[in-house]
Structure 1
Amino acid sequence: MIVWGKKSKMALLGSEGSKPCPVCEKERPFNLMLQYTVHHIWYVFKWVSGKQYGTACEVCQRGDKLDAKAVESKLQKSPIPFGDRWGWAFLAGLIAIAAVFGALDDSSRSTSRETYLAAPRAGDRYIVNLASLLQAPQSKYMYGVLRVRAVHPDSVEFDAPTFFYSSASGPSKDMRAGKLDEPGYFSEKPIVLSRDQIARIHQEHAIHSIDRF
């Protein structure tokens, strides 16, 4: 669940001296103030969505708005804390890192898939959208594990799964959990695919991955 929100904050930036206050109708000390709004995701990834500088009477808190650029040109550093200004950058960095690792994983999986397709071995496990092999599939996505039983010159014989998933994560979890060795996971009757059929479903991107143990 994504937790997000916003909060208004106030910063006191120092005294602006004394001058007549039109509200109090007296000479009053004034302070330089900054009011800004911070949005956040999970209270950590923050960014500033608005800010307003102004002077305010110490007594009635009324005053005048000031131009942000004019005020900030005289400040030595930003009065807004670093975490409020740049917290979003950490989220952007995490997304970028995840994207890089995802790309590397896809590249590695693609390289392995091409290698194993060129020289299949008994025991190789293909995660395949088996809907691509059926004339009238029950669903557009029917992912399951095809385990190589035997390799022939023009075809490959597979153990066929007895049930399917709507995404490739289902068969992947089954492999990690060791469920493929459980009785009944595969049908007793194998299926045989020609090399041309395997090439076709590969071109259709129906083969998600191939694992070799």
Structure 2
Amino acid sequence: MARFGNEGAVMFISWGSSHKAAYVGDAGVRHCSACDEDSTFAHFVDYTVRHQYWVFRWTTGRNPVLVCENCNTTYSAGAEDFDSAETGKAIPLWDRRGWMVGVGGIAALIAALPFARVADTAIDKLFVADPRAGDLYETNLAKLMPDPDAPRMYGAMRVVRADSRTVEVEIPKAYYGDLLSVQRDVSVGKTDDASYYAPEHLTFSRDSIRKLYADGVVENVRR
């Protein structure tokens, strides 16, 4: 939430965004090159819901994907798998059509897009400056390692303790090659389960956490 005004007038503007994944349907049995198994696949659509005042809602960045149900590897859906009607219906109506609630909603939403991006960054910076237990850092773990297995190793680190000087986090057991897979885990609640994380913890100074965000190692913060 942003606050603008002076002694005579105060205006509050509330905006935000969240990443979600919607189940589209069964994609049948296919061969997964990651686990080298013939596995059942599911069709999901990853998308972002943006809002103003929690009422004016719209979706951006729709990305149809296929997920191996054996190893959770995510693949981009090809043209033969993409049904725009089915994918659209999978996204809840309130997410798709919330903008229609307000008069002149389309114009308001177009004007709000750049402000929403600025707001997302501002909120992340506030969360990084004041870390709390339970905060999730969507992180490229490869940038934390001297000799990573891959250039992109995305996972969610969860804050377990924060004091005036340090921040202790737990790290995920597995990683993905893309950020959308992490965001899908967040949206469906997988990152709330203790089994998602390895027993080892990492401890950073508060300044280090701020630098990790400034350098793009931590790409998003969820609270």
- What is the TM-score of this pair, normalised by structure 1? 0.50
Question: Larger RCO: Structure 1 or Structure 2 (Cα < 8 Å, ≥ 6 residues apart)?
Answer: 2
Indicate the structure with greater strand content. Answer: 2
- What is the TM-score of this pair, normalised by structure 2? 0.48
Larger Cα Rg: Structure 1 or Structure 2? Answer: 1
